[in-house]
Amino acid sequence: MGTDALRMRGITKRFGRIPANDAVDFTVAKGEIHCLLGENGAGKTTLMKVLFGLHKKDAGEILLDGRPVEISSPGDAIAGGIGMVHQHFMLVGRLTVTENIIAGREPRSGFLLDYRRAREMVREISGRYGLKVDPDARVEEISVGQQQRVEILKALLREAELLIFDEPTAVLTPPEVQELFGVMRRLKASGKTMIFITHKLKETMEISDRVTILRDGRKVATVETARTTPARLAEMMVGREVELRVARPEVTRGERILALKDLRVKGADGRYRLNGVNLEIHRGEILGIAGVEGNGQLELEEVVAGLLKPAQGRVWLGAEEITALDPGAIRARGVAYIPSDRLRRGLIGSFSAARNLILGSQRGRAFAPGGILRHRRIEEEARRLVADFDIRAASVHEPAAALSGGNQQKVVIARELSRRPELVVAAQPTRGVDVGAVEYIHRQLLKMRGEGKGVLLISAELDELRALSDRIAVLYEGRIVAEGPSGGFTEQELGLLMAGEGK
Amino acid sequence: MSGKKLFIDFAYSLGAVFFALLLGGVLIHLSGYDVREAYLSFFDGAFGNVYNLANTLMMTIPLIFTGLAVAVGFQAGLFNVGGEGQLYLGALASALAALFVRGLPPVLHIALALAAGALAGGLWALVPGYLKARTGAHEVITTIMFNYVGILLVAFLVKEYFKEPGRADQTSMIPASARIPELIPDSRLTWALFLGMLAILAVDYLLKNTSLGYEIQAVGQNLPAAEYAGIDARARMTVSMLLSGMIAGLAGSTMVLGVLHRFINNFSPGYGYTGIAVAVLARNKPWGILPAALLFGALQSGGMSMQLFARIPMDLMTLVQGLVILLVAAPALLEILAASRRRPKEVTPDGRDPDGHLQHQ
């Protein structure tokens, strides 16, 4: 493959005393797609920010095409032929696609921007790499997938030879992910080198030539993708063996536990966010709700929990109608709720882990008979849950905000599942959670199912939905556009349905 | 709340006070006065002998109540700026209960007058609290407005109905049975000091050990999470405003029953407003109120004697008060600025930063 496009040697970057990168070696060959794989906090983004001049390294050296370079600003990086496609796009919504792409490299005629030539430049470069965009559309009016293309074109126009993609699939629908991979393959064919930051194993296996795994700021290994397996990658990422797919034993389906009848919920703008949803969940069953975020998932979880009142329709828990009940009353009737926005809804960051573990039970005989909190009981319960649910905290008095994302989620899950619920509403339960914790959360949800509870699982992860759900319903623009046994959908079908292009 | 953070907060407030005194010294020097003489007469006036100390503590008492009142509201996320109005309502109610209920033994008479003051102050805060909970009317605006209404209403009532014959707009003296006894003979320091500590103790207990306190703090810290937990946020807001107003009302009661022994129009030099400063310095911690109130009481009484004996204008001590607030509040401002400039760190797959806020669009 000739010389390496990039060599990073002994890169160390500390934030305070803690090294985010500890003597990391990272080599990318010319013309390859190289995955940088690791859990949240493993140091992937830090390493790339050092490369792009956004962080100053404490030690180590960087070689581009064999030549040592000093990169102290993004300007240096761009001059060296490095382009970065940020996860949070650096675009101006009010400007057109053309204006965004050429910003900083405007062709001029006199003092004025030569818009016609600018548009030609954009046409030329988007044609060359097969990245279709409408040069005159305003960025705020195009889809997220297209905005990402604008970002890529920006980098290409600046003659980037080495492109860094920072978790590019996080914001995309499954069909958009496939389109992005198509673009990446075309870029590779035209000789570009790419670094793909991710923590998703499947995408790594699909798109990359080689993989470098980081864990706790150190490099674990660099392997050829063709010679490894997802299980092996997961093990290197987490540092122990991980079961990627937990087994789903047969459970007999019991009586109906939740029924939604013709549910309609209006948003602030007067449009229906849920538009006639009918669903049923039985005991011993996990119903998965597939869909791209913003298609009514948030409204669905909040209506069942009682936080949002429907404009029309009814909600039944077992034989009792709960449509008009407040969240406290619904909770008391055995509905556990793992909210999708755990920090906004599920936790009080400044409260200790122990106090968070009784949120919702702060009144009542268990922890506060007569309205007086029994600290010893609360602490005992907290210690029990911390042990049972493997929550990593320095102590139960640590504020919830100080815990890692995975452990915060475990606090919510421990609290909700330990209350012996009849129905579990789990919204995006594994979002932002490390691979090891994902396995654990999946086991817990299946355990609830095995105990004859009903589970409403709302998730954007198709793998998760397909592995856990007995049935899947696809939510698109506030309607259920398809529903059936989870085995009856292929991943492609689900992806198309989520994008509104189904049967 | 961890002990370490508590200690850091305390050290920070202490440092702020120290720097404020230092800067104040510079300003005193620049104004052409002798800094040594100024501070000597200041400390002597505040703590120099039993009488001066008693005087300082006497000025501390209303600030304990008004500071605690602000802190209690803040626990539910409400900024009660209406302490001054609530204080006047409480003061008049206590004076009337003391004047018009006769034949009670001393302890009962005092208790009744205190209860009347707390009730009046509480009701005066309840209205803005209720408006906030029901309609979202901002409590800062409504409580400020209620200050004007309350102070003028009380002045009107006194002038029109309860005025003692004579030139001053004041009621007649309250009977001895309703006067809070002196702690040190021949001083104006009364047992009300312990009443203030009792109030702190009660608030601290409420917040740490009761379901109600838990819920009030949940509402103040994270309203969506409180709703999630089934807490009636409106009711908790209303209750905490009621409590806050009751405590502010007691500030007026203790002045009337302990110091003035009658109601006098415009008797307060702004205890209600200084209470906000006290709460800021105490970082809204109940036990922090005590030293913070003591500091402001000392600045008040020490400043007076500085003016009297060293002929240095008391305004310079008011300036030091302002500097303390500035230095305590400034780091909070810096934190907010730093947080808004902080770059997103490692991000979860759906585009949220580690605090769970949506980053993209």
Inter-chain CB proximity A346 and B227 less than 8 Å: no
Which CATH number is associated with domain A256-334+421-498? Answer: 3.40.50.300
Interface test with B, best of A343, A377, A404 (most B CBs within 10 A): A343
Whether the Cβ atoms of residue A381 and residue B230 lie closer than 8 Å to each other: no
Whether the Cβ atoms of residue A245 and residue A201 lie closer than 8 Å to each other: no
Could you tell me which residues come within 8 angstroms of residue A365 by beta carbon, excluding any fewer than 6 positions away? none
The alpha-carbon gap from B285 to the nearest alpha carbon of chain A, in Å, equals 14
Positions in chain A whose pLDDT score sits under 50: 1
Q: For A488-503, what is the HEC assignment? A: HCCHHHHHHHHCCCCC
Residue B344 neighbours by CB distance under 10 Å: 16
Q: For residue A475, what pLDDT is reported?
A: 93
Interface test with B, best of A345, A419, A459, A463 (most B CBs within 10 A): A345
Residue B190 lies in a domain: yes
Q: Report whether pLDDT(B355) > 50.
A: no
The sign of the dihedral angle between the CA atoms of A299, A302, A306, A307 is negative
Whether the Cβ atoms of residue B104 and residue B272 lie closer than 8 Å to each other: no
Q: For residue B337, what pLDDT is reported?
A: 57
Q: For residue B344, what pLDDT is reported?
A: 35
Q: Provide long-range contacts, Cβ within 8 A and 24+ apart, for B96-104.
A: B96/B162, B96/B171, B97/B178, B98/B174, B98/B175, B98/B178, B98/B256, B98/B257, B99/B162, B99/B171, B99/B172, B99/B174, B99/B175, B102/B175, B104/B177
Inter-chain CB proximity A171 and B352 less than 8 Å: no
Hey, what are A72's tokens?
């102290």
Q: For residue B338, what pLDDT is reported?
A: 56
pLDDT in tens, B129-154: 999 999 989 999 999 999 999 999 99
Q: Hey, which of A473-487, B301-315, B325-339 has the most confident mean pLDDT?
A: A473-487
Measured between its terminal Cα atoms, the distance across chain A in Å is 46
Inter-chain CB proximity B356 and A89 less than 8 Å: no
Closest Cα to residue A459, out of A288, A247, A287? A288
pLDDT in tens, B8-22: 777 877 888 888 888
Residue B320 lies in a domain: no
- Cα dihedral value B257, B262, B267, B270, nearest 10: 20
Residue in B227, B230, B346 closest to A40 by CB: B346
The DSSP H or E segment spanning A353 is helix A353-356
Q: Does B224 touch chain A (CB under 8 A)?
A: yes
Residues of A in contact with B75 (CB under 8 A): none
The alpha-carbon gap from B63 to the nearest alpha carbon of chain A, in Å, equals 28
Q: For residue B1, what pLDDT is reported?
A: 47
Inter-chain CB proximity A359 and B211 less than 8 Å: no
Residue A397 neighbours by CB distance under 10 Å: 15
Inter-chain CB proximity A327 and B228 less than 8 Å: yes
Q: Report whether pLDDT(B359) > 50.
A: no
Measured between its terminal Cα atoms, the distance across chain B in Å is 34
B:64-93 residues touching chain A, CB 8 A cutoff = none
For the residues B158-181, what does the mean pLDDT come to? 92
Q: Does B284 touch chain A (CB under 8 A)?
A: no
Backbone angles phi, psi at A204, to 5 degrees: -55, -50
Whether the Cβ atoms of residue A216 and residue A42 lie closer than 8 Å to each other: yes
Q: Does B227 touch chain A (CB under 8 A)?
A: yes
- Among chain B residues, the shortest Cα distance to A42 is held by B346
Hey, what are B340's tokens?
């808004």
Look up the domain containing B163 and give its range: 57-301
Q: Is A467 helix (H, G, I), strand (E, B) or coil?
A: helix
Please report how the helices A115-128 and A144-157 are oriented relative to each other, as an axis angle in degrees rounded to 10: 100
Whether the Cβ atoms of residue A434 and residue B349 lie closer than 8 Å to each other: no
Query: For residues B154-190, b (16+ Cβ closer than 10 Å) or e, as one string?
Result: beeebeeebbeeeeebbbeebbebbbbeebeeebbbb
Inter-chain CB proximity A328 and B231 less than 8 Å: yes
Q: For residue A404, what pLDDT is reported?
A: 77
The alpha-carbon gap from B284 to the nearest alpha carbon of chain A, in Å, equals 14
Q: Is A480 helix (H, G, I), strand (E, B) or coil?
A: strand
Residue in A346, A368, A373 closest to B225 by CB: A346
Could you tell me which residues come within 8 angstroms of residue A208 by beta carbon, excluding any fewer than 6 positions away? A33, A34, A35, A196, A225
The alpha-carbon gap from A354 to the nearest alpha carbon of chain B, in Å, equals 12
Q: Is A163 helix (H, G, I), strand (E, B) or coil?
A: strand
High-pLDDT (> 70) share of chain B, % = 89
Q: For residue B347, what pLDDT is reported?
A: 31
| CATH among 3.40.50.150, 3.40.50.300, 3.40.1410.10, 3.30.450.20 for A4-238 | 3.40.50.300
Closest Cα to residue B161, out of B105, B114, B96? B96
Q: What's the Cα-to-Cα distance from A94 to each of A111, A135, A172, A303, A384, rounded to whole Å? A: 22, 13, 22, 35, 53
Closest Cα to residue B196, out of B71, B281, B89? B71
Closest Cα to residue A330, out of A340, A316, A341? A316
Q: Does B346 touch chain A (CB under 8 A)?
A: yes
Interface test with A, best of B74, B206, B211 (most A CBs within 10 A): B211
Residues of B in contact with A460 (CB under 8 A): 350
Q: Does B356 touch chain A (CB under 8 A)?
A: yes
DSSP state, residue A476: E
Q: For residue A58, what pLDDT is reported?
A: 92
DSSP state, residue B172: P
Q: Report whether pLDDT(B361) > 70.
A: no
Under 8 Å CB pairs connecting chains A and B tally to 131
Q: Report whether pLDDT(B351) > 50.
A: no
Separation of alpha carbons B279 and B290, rounded Å: 10
Hey, what are A195's tokens?
């670094």
Inter-chain CB proximity B211 and A431 less than 8 Å: no
Closest Cα to residue A374, out of A390, A393, A358? A358
Could you tell me which residues come within 8 angstroms of residue B157 by beta carbon, excluding any fewer than 6 positions away? B92
Determine whether A143 is exposed, middle or buried from the number of CB atoms within 10 Å of its CB (0-12, 13-18, 19+): exposed
Residue keyed to tokens 């009443």:
B195
Residues of A in contact with B225 (CB under 8 A): 344-348, 359
Inter-chain CB proximity B356 and A170 less than 8 Å: no
- Cα dihedral value A419, A278, A246, A358, nearest 10: -20
Rg (CA), chain A: 25
Whether the Cβ atoms of residue B245 and residue B124 lie closer than 8 Å to each other: yes
Inter-chain CB proximity B228 and A41 less than 8 Å: no
Inter-chain CB proximity A362 and B215 less than 8 Å: yes
Separation of alpha carbons A68 and A79, rounded Å: 14
Interior CA angle at B273 toward B21 and B311, to 5°?
A: 45
Q: What's the Cα-to-Cα distance from A269 to each of A273, B150, B296, rounded to whole Å? A: 10, 41, 51
Q: What is the CATH number of the domain that holds B177?
A: 1.10.3470
The alpha-carbon gap from B356 to the nearest alpha carbon of chain A, in Å, equals 6
Separation of alpha carbons A355 and A395, rounded Å: 12
Q: Does B235 touch chain A (CB under 8 A)?
A: no
User: Domain locations in chain A?
Assistant: 4-238, 256-334+421-498
Q: What is the ipTM of this complex?
A: 0.82
Residues of A in contact with B232 (CB under 8 A): 326, 328
Residues of B in contact with A141 (CB under 8 A): none
Residues of B in contact with A351 (CB under 8 A): 217-218, 221
Hey, what are B149's tokens?
């209404």
Inter-chain CB proximity B348 and A171 less than 8 Å: no
- Among chain B residues, the shortest Cα distance to A355 is held by B214
Inter-chain CB proximity A199 and B230 less than 8 Å: no
Residue keyed to tokens 């914790």:
A437
Residue A461 neighbours by CB distance under 10 Å: 18
Whether the Cβ atoms of residue A183 and residue A129 lie closer than 8 Å to each other: yes
Separation of alpha carbons B223 and B219, rounded Å: 5
Could you give the number of structural domains in chain B?
A: 1
A16: left (phi over 0), alpha (psi -120 to 50) or beta: left
Q: Report whether pLDDT(B341) > 80.
A: no
Residue A240 neighbours by CB distance under 10 Å: 8
Query: For residues A44-55, b (16+ Cβ closer than 10 Å) or e, as one string?
Result: bbbbbbbbbbbb
Residues of A in contact with B202 (CB under 8 A): none
Please report which residue ranges of chain B form alpha helices under DSSP H: 3-30, 35-47, 50-75, 83-100, 106-135, 139-157, 192-209, 211-221, 223-228, 233-254, 271-281, 289-309, 315-341
The alpha-carbon gap from A166 to the nearest alpha carbon of chain B, in Å, equals 10
Residue keyed to tokens 């016609």:
A116
Q: Does B225 touch chain A (CB under 8 A)?
A: yes
Q: For A103-120, what is the HEC assignment? A: CCCCCEECCEECHHHHHH
Inter-chain CB proximity B214 and A373 less than 8 Å: yes
Interface test with A, best of B223, B342, B346 (most A CBs within 10 A): B346
- DSSP per position, A43-78: SHHHHHHHHTTSS--SEEEEEETTEEE---SHHHHH
Inter-chain CB proximity A348 and B221 less than 8 Å: yes
Closest Cα to residue B230, out of A406, A180, A416, A8? A416
pLDDT in tens, A462-476: 888 999 999 999 999
Residue A290 neighbours by CB distance under 10 Å: 30
Residue B188 lies in a domain: yes
Separation of alpha carbons A367 and B149, rounded Å: 44
Separation of alpha carbons A288 and A446, rounded Å: 13
pLDDT, chain B, mean: 87
pLDDT in tens, B33-88: 888 888 888 899 899 999 999 999 999 999 999 999 999 999 999 999 999 999 99
Q: Report whether pLDDT(B200) > 50.
A: yes
Q: For residue A503, what pLDDT is reported?
A: 55
The alpha-carbon gap from B235 to the nearest alpha carbon of chain A, in Å, equals 14
Q: For residue B331, what pLDDT is reported?
A: 67
Inter-chain CB proximity A171 and B350 less than 8 Å: yes
Inter-chain CB proximity B218 and A40 less than 8 Å: no
Residue in A171, A307, A432 closest to B228 by CB: A307
Closest Cα to residue B279, out of B56, B70, B3, B47? B70
Whether the Cβ atoms of residue B78 and residue B286 lie closer than 8 Å to each other: no
